[in-house]
Amino acid sequence: MNVNWSVRNRMLLAAGFVLAAALVVVSCSGGGGGGGSTAGGGTPPPPPPPPAATFLVFNSPQQAAATTSAALSARSAADSVFNLAIDLGLTGKLTAGIGSLYKPARPAANLGGLDPALAGMADIMKISRLSPVIRKVVLRKAAMAPTSVSTVLTTGFCDNADGQITITGQNNYQDIASTSLAYTYDVAFTKCRDDITFTQLDGTLHVVYDESIATAAFTSSMTTGLTQLQYAAIDYASLVQKIVLNGTFDYNDQITSGLKTANGNFAVTTPAQGPVPEKVVTYSFVTTSDTWTVTHDAVAGSDSRTDTITGQFVINTAKGGAQVGIFNMEMNLTDRLDTMNDTSGTKKQWLDGTLDSSWTPDLTASGCLPGRLQIATALATPRIYTILSGYTCPGSGQVTINNAKVAYGSSISVTLTNNLRQTFATCAALNQAGGVCTF
């Protein structure tokens, strides 16, 4: 498959770092790292129940600062899951740009430093490397078929003679009386190798899609059972990593409103190497949903989008067949983003809601403080970004997280309700104030 992956890999790697930092919302220290399931990449244990809603109280501005960046970036975890489905071809709109309504230009997350143990979470997002194969090649081949398709693809789609892709399905493209464009396809990958990336793809993909011809509103659903094997070289002799994606992704886009849901998990297995035991990282997304609305001010020319994000995210860790720990986060957030029609490209953001987190085993002694973060943004003080800053640091705004107030301006101050305060010269300095929780 003659595909240049370099630019895409950098983008996906960045998305993975966003995901990892968003999931870890307080600073502490410990040992080990990663997340996982049972040994050998088997079925992971069921996610634990949502953490208890006990409000976390910060004892110092430094402690509050350590949570700020990741807490304000938590919705990136949901975005990463939904955008993965986009990359795999779920929202391949027939009458508009692919994914055009699902990747709003949001300000960059203010992320704290990543512990090397958690940096491996970025590997999970590499499953999106499959998207050029699935969306641009396989589904396009199926979409070109009249009425129905049943075909086996080999040469030109897989780089090995014994690899193949089987496609079966149907569409209504020749039904001129239909008010919608619809298709249903099942795709099966069998030992399909890519000699550029040294990867092998196996598994199935089921896609159902229906789009209104009149309005371009659409509904779609995708169920995945995919396994990607990453090898060290073109001889496919030494396995470097195994990635398994199982999940169901549903979209309902009614243009000015919609709903996205996802249930499933990634499992990333790194084989044992010498004295280093096998490591298995499992990231589960449980009943994750994003309900959104979009409004347009015709007079001002501005747009406002509000997303309500709920769901549970769980990271399981296993090393050498033994479970190391579990990080659990329950999310209930409302994120409003206003895009102004001005020369500065101003964006105003309000984030409100709760994040409940816990660790197993209990890591309170190491500084990992379980409990609830209550995030609130007053209507008059949104975080305001402009194009001059590259949307990386607010020029103004104020956010309250539990007993801490974070105020943005020429510098960033973190003030507790007891008036203890710490000031940071830049967003980068604020990010560096905290670390991440490791276990």
110 is a domain residue: yes
In a 13 Å sphere around the CA of 19, the CA atoms on its Cβ side amount to 29
Per-residue pLDDT of the chain (439 residues; tens, 9 = 90+): 333 322 222 222 223 323 333 333 333 433 333 333 333 444 555 666 665 568 888 888 888 887 766 666 666 767 777 766 666 655 545 433 322 222 334 444 332 232 333 333 433 444 444 555 555 456 556 555 667 778 887 777 788 999 988 888 888 877 889 999 888 888 888 998 889 889 898 999 888 888 898 998 999 888 989 898 989 999 999 999 998 889 998 999 999 999 999 999 888 899 999 999 999 988 888 999 999 999 999 999 999 999 999 999 888 889 999 998 888 888 999 999 999 999 999 999 999 999 888 888 887 766 677 889 899 999 999 999 999 888 888 999 999 999 999 999 999 999 999 999 999 998 878 877 654 443 3
125 is a domain residue: yes
Name the residue with tokens 């539990």.
402
Structure tokens belonging to residue 248: 């169901």
251 is a domain residue: yes
Task: Say if CB 24 and CB 70 are below 8 A apart.
Answer: yes
- For 185: left if phi > 0, alpha if psi spans -120 to 50, otherwise beta; the answer is beta
142 is a domain residue: yes
Task: Say if CB 37 and CB 44 are below 8 A apart.
Answer: yes
* Secondary structure of the chain in HEC code, one letter for each residue: CCCCCHHHHHHHHHHHHHHHHHHCCCCCCCCCCCCCCCHHHCCCCCCCCCCCCCECCCCCHHHHHHHHHHHHCCHHHHHHHHHHHHHCCCCCCCCCCCCCCCCCCCCCCCCCCCCHHHHHHHHHHHHHHHHHHHHHHHHHHHHCCCCEEEEEECECCECCCCCEEEEEEEECCCCCCCCEEEEEEEEEEEEEEECCCCEEEEEEEEEEEEEECCCCCEEEEEEEEEEEEEECCCCCCCEEEEEEEEEEEEEEECCCEEEEEEEEEEEEEECCECCECCEEEEEEEEEEEEEEEEEEECCCCEEEEEEEEEEEEEEEEEECCEEEEEEEEEEEEEEEEEECCCCCCCEEEEEEEEEEEEEECCCHHHCCCCEEEEEECCCCCCEEECHHHCCCCCCEEEEEECCEEEEECCCEEEEECCCCEEEECCHHHHHHHCCCCCC
Rounded-to-integer distance, Cα 34 and Cα 276, Å: 14
439 is a domain residue: no
Rounded-to-integer distance, Cα 18 and Cα 119, Å: 10
44 is a domain residue: yes
Owning domain of residue 378: 6-433
1 is a domain residue: no
Give which of 165, 89, 100, 193 is closest to 134, Cα–Cα. 89
Number of domains in the chain: 1
296 is a domain residue: yes
Rounded-to-integer distance, Cα 126 and Cα 15, Å: 10
Rounded-to-integer distance, Cα 407 and Cα 234, Å: 53
Number of Cβ within 10 Å of residue 59's Cβ equals 12
Q: At residue 167, what is the residue type?
A: I
- Which residues, in sequence order, are bridge partners of residue 337? 305, 349
Q: What is the pLDDT of residue 310?
A: 94
Provide the CA 331 distance to its chain's centre, in angstroms.
Answer: 14
Torsion sign (Cα): 140, 141, 144, 146: negative
Task: Say if CB 424 and CB 412 are below 8 A apart.
Answer: yes
